[in-house]
């Protein structure tokens, strides 16, 4: 079971990339979800939310089980948190698109790019409460929650952009 948890925690090995594994994982997540939603036409919002929640809750167990495989308390190899945080504004995009709350003056691809940029910005800058979880919870909980908070900030910005334009 530990091998499966390490595989999930490293997002099928992306965490082992030597250069910017978090950014690459966020980009891969964005592209994957874009393809699923926009090209393949998979638009089941309920399933997306349920899948996200299952992955979110299971990730706590998977990361906790995987932490011992790595040397430090917040191993850069663990990137499932980037998948979770990056997915949040993208699931919001699906909702906004389905409810016609996305302005037609901005192409949907721009929203995907902005979601990626905003998430990476907040994940790297770490404004409060992102920094709180990063600094005060040096364990599986902090690993996941700082990225979830960065995803929440990204969602807020995407929402404001969608209603503004």
**pLDDT digits 0-9 by tens, 105-136:** 678 999 999 999 999 999 999 999 999 998 99
Contact present, 16 and 78 (Cβ < 8 Å): no
Q: How far apart are CA 54 and CA 137, in angstroms?
A: 22
- Residue 71: predicted pLDDT: 79
Max intra-chain CA distance, the chain:
49
In this predicted structure, the answer to whether residue 20 has a pLDDT above a threshold of 90 is yes
67 secondary structure, DSSP code: G
Mean pLDDT of 53-72: 93
20 CA to centre of own chain: 15
Q: Give the confidence band of 8 by pLDDT, cuts at 50, 70, 90.
A: very high
> In this predicted model, which residue has the larger pLDDT, 69 or 62?
62
How many CB atoms lie under 10 A from the CB of residue 50? 11
Q: How far apart are CA 78 and CA 62, in angstroms?
A: 10
- Residue 70: predicted pLDDT: 85
């Amino acid at each position: 079971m530990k091998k499966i948890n390490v595989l999930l925690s490293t997002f099928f090995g992306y965490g082992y990339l030597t250069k910017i594994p978090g950014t690459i994982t966020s980009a891969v997540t964005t592209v994957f979800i874009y393809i699923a939603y926009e090209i393949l036409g998979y638009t089941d919002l309920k399933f997306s939310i349920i899948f996200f929640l299952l992955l979110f809750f299971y990730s706590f167990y998977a990361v906790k089980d995987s932490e011992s495989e790595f040397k430090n308390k917040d191993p850069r190899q663990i990137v499932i948190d980037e998948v979770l945080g990056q997915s949040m504004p993208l699931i919001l995009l699906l909702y906004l698109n389905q409810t016609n709350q996305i302005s037609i003056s901005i192409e949907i691809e721009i929203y995907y790019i902005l979601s990626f940029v905003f998430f990476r910005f907040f994940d790297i800058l770490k404004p409060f409460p992102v920094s709180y979880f990063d600094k005060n919870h040096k364990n599986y909980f902090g690993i996941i929650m700082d990225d979830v908070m960065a995803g929440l900030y990204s969602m807020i910005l995407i929402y404001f952009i969608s209603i503004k334009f």
